[in-house]
Chains A and B, each alone.
Chain A
Amino acid sequence: MGIKILTEHINVPGIETLEMYRKHGGYRSVEKALKTMTPDEVVEEVKTSGLRGRGGAGFPAGMKWSFLAKPEGVPRYLVCNADESEPGTFKDRVFMEKNPHALIEGMITSSYALGANTSYIYIRGELLFVLRILEKAIAEAYAAGLLGKNILGSGYDLDLHVAPGGGAYICGEETALLESLEGKRGNPRNKPPFPAVKGLFQSPTVVNNVETIASVPWIVNNTGAEYAKIGIGRSTGTKLISASGNINRPGVYEIDLGVPVEEFIYSDEYCGGIWKGKQLKAVVPGGSSVPILPAELILKTAAGEQRLMTYESLSDGGFVSGSMLGSGAFIVFDEDQCIVRNTWNYARFYHHESCGQCSPCREGTGWMERVLHRIEHGHGHQQDIDLLVSVAKQIEGNTICPLGDAAAWPVASAIRHFREEFEWHIKHPQEATAPGAVYRGQLAAATV
């Protein structure tokens, strides 16, 4: 078991209070950064660390920070994206719920690095109880002089606010989040201009995931070079993985990037193997929006190499035989799970969550859902499979924001890897719609 950067003290009783948090070394990075480092030095450390955005895209955080425009006389903002709402992800919620001060510490240090005097945590509306926990922690930090005017006598001012969303998945997209934070309808903006130039209230803004921001204090305390030693290649550091599905031990795990996928699924330290000793059928390694992979491709790449839990290894093979690490929502399917039903379920989610601004996504997500619904309920036609592939292709890449891609990829990949199962559903509607019916042909073929 590797080093724990984010979850070391997460289970300490009372860690949500400032007193306990400080007892375990909390807010050291604030003191170190504000008293001994310049903002640029903090940015440099984060750059050296190779920390990558943990929200899904995996863009290097230090580089994102250095893109921030710094015109004179214009305020800058740091916004923490805590609108975690993709099916399968629950890492940020657990983290904020248990250890709110760790996020606040990250927010102070990061805001200092970016020169932001007002920062926001945009939290998913459904997580109202987490919002209360955060607000309590923020009040404690204000009382201790860690927030507000002249923090720890350094002359640096910071106000931190928590804003809840209204429960829309699309508000996790950074520009939609900013619109929502400004009090408007959560529609993604056209890019360019990017938030680094014109973001919140038309000012330069950085939007980072909870986990990204929470990793910054450790980097400041222990230097970026130390952080870069963890992990493999360009995937440095540790990552929270929300493991769910048919496994023995679902939950949030902090792993060093580079753990083999096989070990992650079967080791007792992590998922503990497939539930009831069943056979592994498929895995969605990074949240519902990334391509699904069948058992043989998740354990080994198409070239026969062992697949590791890193950004590079999971996307090895592109979309033909690879997937993505995404936000780290590891969803495991055993042999009794129906891929068609699951794909329909995902399509239903994206249909419901599309903002309706641009036409391919607005119309296409609904179309895919209806066709999948038809196939699942035994009314599909043979040409529906090609229709789905074609509709997914029409959406992909042609939309304003990545929600279109996120809706298209699961459908396209499920058909790519499980086409026989779709065909079986269409050819044998009566068998396929019987309760609990699952296509097993592919598993038989894989074991032979």
Chain B
Amino acid sequence: MAKITFDGIEVEVEDGTTILQAARKIGGDVVPPAMCFYTPLKGSGGKCRVCLVKVTQGSARDPRPMPKLVASCITPVQDGMVVENTTNEDVLNARKGIVEMLLINHPLDCPICDQAGECDLQNLSYEHGVSATRYEEPRRTFDKIDLGPYIQLHMTRCILCYRCVYTADQITDKRVHGVLGRGDAAEIGTYIENVIDNDFSGNVIDVCPVGALTDKTWRFKNRVWFTKPLNAHRDCPTCSGKVTLWSRGDQVLRVTARKDEYAEVEEFICNTCRFDKKEVSDWTIEGPRNIDRGSVISANHYELPVINVPIVPNLPKSTVKKMPTE
């Protein structure tokens, strides 16, 4: 076990845990954001640099500070480590700079983007970015690429987190897409207009932090904040069958894997569940899904209405409404 101090909060974690995971154990506002790191994917992380933190004390044995800001998602903790995130001005400034870098070539087309409302980049720029841009050159654009009947790739929005590459590597038999080119001309692609065709290909949509990979069966059907997320399951021969249904009225508009508060999937699901089972009758509904991520989809959905506030004093007891408490 290693004891570290993160933003003044002490936490004890297993040896070999990364700083980011230790911070997530604390939870709340001190957790550094992460755009490329994805716990279920081995080898991910270290690329987007938004999770940079300052290590002011390397360990109890070697108390020297680390000379540069380190990526918290890939740096393992040492016993006695002292880390500063929200309490360090340099970290916040560096993060602001990196958010700016991520946005200079991003089209900022949130009003017409399907990811809007549940987009990690949107949340990141709200929380850590600046409102104005200093970039006046033309932005990088790409044509939309068809990756088969289910997945649409729009590279213009991509931040090259490599998550979809790791997903295809680790949960499917054969990866047909990858990163082509280098520098800011790098792009996700299949090189010769290949089709991503396997039972688990749809998961690349779930891991994409932005609107670069979108679900064709859902595109432009609705805005995510108008839909109601429901936990549901079915007896699926290929995957666990545990999903979140996004419905409006009695229509199931979209099926995704269940994601936790850091937008990481709990279990990957198969394409049959995701794309073909869009009837309520296909599913056993478990109940509403609480989305506790900081985005508009969770706004106003789950807080209990403010009740029993005595606006008019001395009302008779019969007027007090009984509401379920948490």
Whole-angstrom distance between the alpha carbons of A354 and B105 in the complex? 16
User: Given A398-B69, A398-B98, does the pair A357, B47 have CB atoms closer than 8 Å?
Assistant: yes
Which 7 A-B pairs have CB atoms at the shortest separation, nearest pair first?
A: A394-B97, A356-B186, A190-B46, A354-B183, A363-B101, A366-B184, A370-B137
Return the contact of A362 from the options B50, B68, B186 (Cβ within 8 A).
B186
State which residues 170-202 of B face A: CB under 8 Å.
178-179, 181-186
Could you list 27 A-B pairs, sorted by A, with CB under 8 Å? A168-B182, A351-B183, A353-B182, A353-B183, A354-B183, A355-B182, A355-B186, A356-B160, A356-B179, A356-B181, A356-B182, A357-B162, A358-B47, A358-B49, A359-B47, A359-B102, A359-B160, A363-B102, A363-B104, A363-B184, A367-B104, A387-B134, A394-B94, A394-B101, A398-B68, A398-B94, A399-B49
Main SS of chain B's interface residues? loop
Q: List A contacts of B97 (CB < 8 A).
A: 360, 390, 393-394, 398
User: Given A363-B101, A364-B101, A397-B68, does the pair A354, B184 have CB atoms closer than 8 Å?
Assistant: yes
Residues of chain B at the chain A interface (Cβ within 8 Å): 45-50, 52, 68-69, 71, 74, 94, 97-98, 100-102, 104-105, 134-135, 137, 159-160, 162, 178-179, 181-186
Return the contact of A398 from the options B49, B105, B162, B181 (Cβ within 8 A).
B49
Whole-angstrom distance between the alpha carbons of A362 and B97 in the complex? 13
Whole-angstrom distance between the alpha carbons of A371 and B138 in the complex? 12
Whole-angstrom distance between the alpha carbons of A400 and B36 in the complex? 13
Question: In angstroms, how far is the closest chain A Cβ from the Cβ of B188?
Answer: 11
Additional A-B contacts beyond A356-B183, A358-B46, A399-B49 (11; CB < 8 A) = A353-B182, A354-B182, A358-B47, A359-B50, A360-B98, A364-B101, A365-B184, A374-B137, A394-B98, A398-B68, A398-B97
Question: In angstroms, how far is the closest chain A Cβ from the Cβ of B85?
Answer: 15
A428 is an interface residue with CB less than 8 A from chain B: no
Number of interface residues, chain A, beta carbon within 8 A: 31
Question: In angstroms, how far is the closest chain A Cβ from the Cβ of B236?
Answer: 35
Return the contact of A352 from the options B46, B71, B102, B183 (Cβ within 8 A).
B183
Return the contact of B49 from the options A351, A359, A370, A390 (Cβ within 8 A).
A359
A185 is an interface residue with CB less than 8 A from chain B: yes
A338 is an interface residue with CB less than 8 A from chain B: no
State which residues 24-39 of A face B: CB under 8 Å.
none
A170 is an interface residue with CB less than 8 A from chain B: yes
Q: List A contacts of B183 (CB < 8 A).
A: 351-356, 362, 365-366
User: Given A190-B71, A397-B68, does the pair A367, B137 have CB atoms closer than 8 Å?
Assistant: yes
Task: Tell me the total A-B contact number using a CB cutoff of 8 A.
Answer: 91
Closest residue on chain A to residue B104 by CB atoms: A363
Whole-angstrom distance between the alpha carbons of A354 and B160 in the complex? 13
State which residues 356-415 of A face B: CB under 8 Å.
356-360, 362-367, 370-371, 374, 387, 390, 393-394, 397-400
Whole-angstrom distance between the alpha carbons of A365 and B74 in the complex? 24
Interface string of A4-48 (1 = CB under 8 A from B): 000000000000000000000000000000000000000000000
Whole-angstrom distance between the alpha carbons of A364 and B134 in the complex? 12
B182→A170 contact, CB < 8 A: yes
Question: In angstroms, how far is the closest chain B Cβ from the Cβ of A57?
Answer: 14
Q: List B contacts of A370 (CB < 8 A).
A: 137
Q: List A contacts of B185 (CB < 8 A).
A: 356
Closest residue on chain B to residue A350 by CB atoms: B183
Closest residue on chain B to residue A355 by CB atoms: B182
A397→B69 contact, CB < 8 A: yes
B47→A360 contact, CB < 8 A: no
Q: List A contacts of B52 (CB < 8 A).
A: 398
Whole-angstrom distance between the alpha carbons of A355 and B102 in the complex? 15
B48→A358 contact, CB < 8 A: yes
Question: In angstroms, how far is the closest chain B Cβ from the Cβ of A188?
Answer: 10
Whole-angstrom distance between the alpha carbons of A360 and B93 in the complex? 13
Whole-angstrom distance between the alpha carbons of A351 and B105 in the complex? 14
Q: List A contacts of B105 (CB < 8 A).
A: 363, 366
Question: In angstroms, how far is the closest chain B Cβ from the Cβ of A193?
Answer: 10
